[in-house]
Structures are given as C-alpha cells and as structure tokens.
Amino acid sequence: MAKKKKTRVAIQGITASFHEVAAFTYFGESVETVECLTFHQLCESLKNGESDYAVMAIENSIAGSILPNYFLLQSYHFSIIGELYLPIHMHLMALPGVKIENLKCIESHPMAIRQCTEFLHALKGVEIRESDDTALSAKRVKELKLKDTAAIANEFAAKKFGLQILEKRIETHKKNFTRFLILTKRSSDNATSNKASMYFEVANEVGSLADALMTFKNNSINLTKIQSIPIIGKPSEYSIHVDVEWKKRKNYDDALKQVLRQVKNLNVLGEYKKAKIEYK
C-alpha cells in the first residue's frame, strides 16, 4: 500500500521558529514543514506547488503590521482560509556557561527585536543585529560556538539547539501575540466563515473612503482591521486592506454588493472562521 503523502506547509524560518509552532498549532504535528528564509520564498513555494499551504505572519500586537506581506498578498492572489493568534514569548539564550555580562551582540529577526525594545535598550554596549529568523539565530550561536553572542527566540529553539535561557519573557508587553494567516492556492467555501479579508481602492475625493466604511456599519458588519498600502507608481493613492466580521451572512453579502458600487478593484482575499485570542 502506498504511503500517504504528508501535507506540506511552508513556513518563514527554520525548525523551532514561531512559524513552525503556528503551523503545528493549526494543522497538527503530522504535517511536513517547508523551510523558507524569506516571505517571498514562502510565496514562491506555495505558487510552485512545493507546499500545499503556507503560514504567514501578518501582524504583532507590539510591533504592528508587517507591511511587505500586504504587498505579497496582492501580488500572489492566494486565498486566506484561516487565521491563528499565537501567544509569543521571547527568551534571551546563549551557550551554556555564558552570562549576560559576557555578551557583545544579540541577534534575532527584526520583528522579534522590536517586540523586546524595552529590555534591549536597558543593555549597554551590546550590538543588536538583525537576522532572517529567530530560530536561525539560535542555531548560529550553537554551530559557531559564539560565546559573546545571544539569540532571541522561543523555548523550542533553546531545547533544539542546546542553549541556556539567560532571561525569560523579555517581550515588552506580556500579552504579546502574532496573527498568522493560513494561505492556499485554492479558494474554498466555508460554511462556518464569519470573517473576511479584502482590499480595494477609492477615489481621491472627500468622503469616498468614509462612505465605503459606513456601508459596512449600516449592514451591522464589524470592521476589525484597516491598513492603507501605497499603490506603486501612483503617488497619493492607496489600496485599503480591511478585515470584517459578521453574525449574519446575509448582512455581509448585502454590504459587499453595495461596496462594489462604491470602490474600485475590490478583491476578497478570503472568507474564513474568526480565530480566538487566548493569552498564556
């Protein structure tokens, strides 16, 4: 009997990264993760069929939106089929025996660094270096035996690469989470969907955006996210990304019909079930 092929999920980063944790949390640990060092590589992996799904971080409760990923969503036209809010705990880790006073450098992914600015600003004489991935920073410290360098990553990376945690939970705010989108090339109808992500353009006229947003309000649609993205080659023009939620599907359908007449180039990126935020 042929062995059943594992579902392949593209992640940004390597094993033990937050993206891998998000993939296992959403799909279960039976999936095969496909490591991609950049979000562009992640999208190419999904586009070229090297993965069946992709997990993409889109915003963090401390560091904010990951703007380049909105451009990628527009460029690749993938379908969002789900979301996940993952609690994020950042730890400072180094080789066994190394102390904080021995450190000359701390490295991690720029989003992780932004989430720990208060802790890092209190350190004196330590270089802060950006890398492609939190777990990759931990791996680098281990493999190169860097006795003067620490990484910021999660506890799984510390265990995976045999590092000691010098300081736990160094994120600036303890209720810290990252929102991940679940992407695929195939759009699918979800009977339980109560949330959607979309983007559109509005005329550069007084009240044009307000009119579109008021349509959602008038149809009892909750607007949970709004993000403007510059349109390349069109100064002073923007595409507007919004996330909306509804209790009655008819209200959403009615709102969408009306908004279509008010805006230009409306694209629904996906309709899916709203995820819960559970702090740990």
Q: Which residues contact 239 (CB under 8 A, 6 or more apart)?
A: 74, 199, 200, 201, 228, 229, 231, 265
Q: What is the pLDDT of residue 140?
A: 98
Torsion of CA 124, 133, 275, 117, to 10 degrees: 10
What radius of gyration do the chain's Cα atoms show? Answer: 21
CATH: 3.40.640.10, 3.40.50.720, 3.90.280.10, 3.30.70.260. Which one for 195-272?
3.30.70.260
Reduce the secondary structure of 66-85 to three states and give it as a string: CHHHHHHHHHHCCEEEEEEE
Superfamily of domain 91-167: Periplasmic binding protein-like II (3.40.190.10)
216-224: long-range contacts, CB 8 A cutoff, minimum separation 24: 216/242, 216/244, 216/255, 216/259, 218/255, 219/251, 219/252, 219/254, 219/255, 219/258, 220/246, 220/247, 220/248, 220/251, 221/245, 221/246, 221/251, 221/252, 221/255, 222/246, 224/195
What are the domain boundaries of the chain?
8-87+176-184, 91-167, 195-272
Q: What is the pLDDT of residue 3?
A: 63
Condensed to tens digits (0 to 9), the pLDDT of residues 158-204 reads 999 999 999 999 999 989 999 999 999 987 778 899 999 999 999 88
Q: What is the pLDDT of residue 206?
A: 87
pTM of this structure: 0.94
Supply φ then ψ for residue 45, to 5 degrees: -60, -45
Domains 8-87+176-184 and 195-272 alike in fold: no
Q: What is the pLDDT of residue 233?
A: 86
Q: What is the pLDDT of residue 139?
A: 98
- Which residue numbers in the chain have pLDDT < 50? 1
Q: What is the pLDDT of residue 5?
A: 84
Q: Answer yes or no: CATH 3.30.70.1730 is held by domain 8-87+176-184.
A: no
- Kindly write down the DSSP assignment for every residue of 198-236, as one continuous string: EEEE--SSTTHHHHHHHHHHHTT-EEEEEEEEEPTT-TT
